[in-house]
Structure 1
Amino acid sequence: MSAFEIDEDCGERANAAAYALGALEDADAYREHLRSCAGCRAEVAELQLAVDALPSTVIPGRAPESLRRKVLDAVRSEADLLHAAGRRADRAPRAWRSPASWRLLLAGSASLAAGAAVLIVLAVSGGSSNAVRVTTAQIAASERGAQGTLRVASGRAELVLGGMRQAPRGQIYEVWLSRGEGSAPAATNALFGVTRAGKASVEVPGSLRGIREVLVTREPLGGSLHPTSPPVVRVVL
């Protein structure tokens, strides 16, 4: 399966919500899975848009160690039960697992959803030691209705986009890193496409130390050494 095909029956999609919340223990393994599974990338991108809105709805706090242990014990117990029951045991009816249902769960009831999300994140991280910095992307006017964020945590950066247009035939999206005025954007090996719904979740390679902007342009297949078109996505750090 190519990185741009969608496996609607992927057993890893059940972990998308925990990953988007920053509560998945083996996040590195799931991030590696996202490289080759467009279905899970689309699910994460959809959930991430709702998760990114949660911090503005609650006052940050620190979970006590006793609560952290209780949450982790509950998560592990449920995981053990699901493992024993088989990979499809956690599959809810399709209407519940649809992106629209997840949006209602995470964003429709702001106080409840935000409180639960922050509780899980704080309980698993033990406080602010694993803080996630989220920056909203600036989208070109040509991408009407598109939105995106850059999530930076533990030295890793991930760009999550939604509502993007498919790149024209013979082109692909490419990520660039800019150190500011007077400095030409540096090419990266992050080349990606978007799903039919316009979603993508791509890891930004390298360190962001000294980087002022993360850019995305449309380039010929295989990428370019220098941008050949204006940025359609810009994240100012």
Structure 2
Amino acid sequence: MSDLHKLTGAYAVDALDDLERARFEQHLAACEDCRAEVAELRETAALLADASAVAPPESLRSSVLAGISQVRPLPPEVPSASVTSLDETRGRRRGWMPFLVAAALALVVGIGAAVTQPWAGDDRGNLTAAEQVLQADDAREVAHDLGEAGRATVTWSKSQERAVITTEDMVAAPDGKAYELWFVGEDGGFTSAGLMADAPDQTVVLTGTAKDAAAVGITVEPDGGSDQPTTEPIAVFDLTKAA
């Protein structure tokens, strides 16, 4: 899990593949430090959004990504028994922030001018994996009221072949357990689609393709997940009846 903390810079400049992005967004929902770092980097990039665009050299993307891999931050430090002041914490973050900002700027500015990102495609290429599903023209959703356990909604897009689950006030899994997501095929077979973080409100992109899925299920599994469900689903979202 600590490796996910290192992806803040790459995520902020949209340099992760779909699988990395989905896993990092799941981690982001539960990590306040990473959310703050991503926000700072995106704010820096936004300051340059109004600059005029010119075509970048073909080698730009590979060179920037190579640089990011060398300057990604260390995972947040675990405080010792002594109290660490807010100023000290900010001081440590300032130590590595210039490197991350430089990497972000390298994707946006060239020598004396801003550049575009040819690998991003149209405007939808700048959306997160979750946003691409939630904002798809063919997005469909099905919701479940889990009573005192909260509420969950699954949104899926046939064109994107992906699914996203959004929760509201969802209670945490029991100690030593985790919520695991599943794609359920028309034959009733279960395929693991990742674990959910212990956060009441989150948006998670299911791992894998929803192309052949007839439903999405949630089960309570041991920490780390299971290859196949070991308990009855606490919720099943019928994608064939999604509105």
Q: TM-score, normalised by structure 2?
A: 0.45
Q: TM-score, normalised by structure 1?
A: 0.46
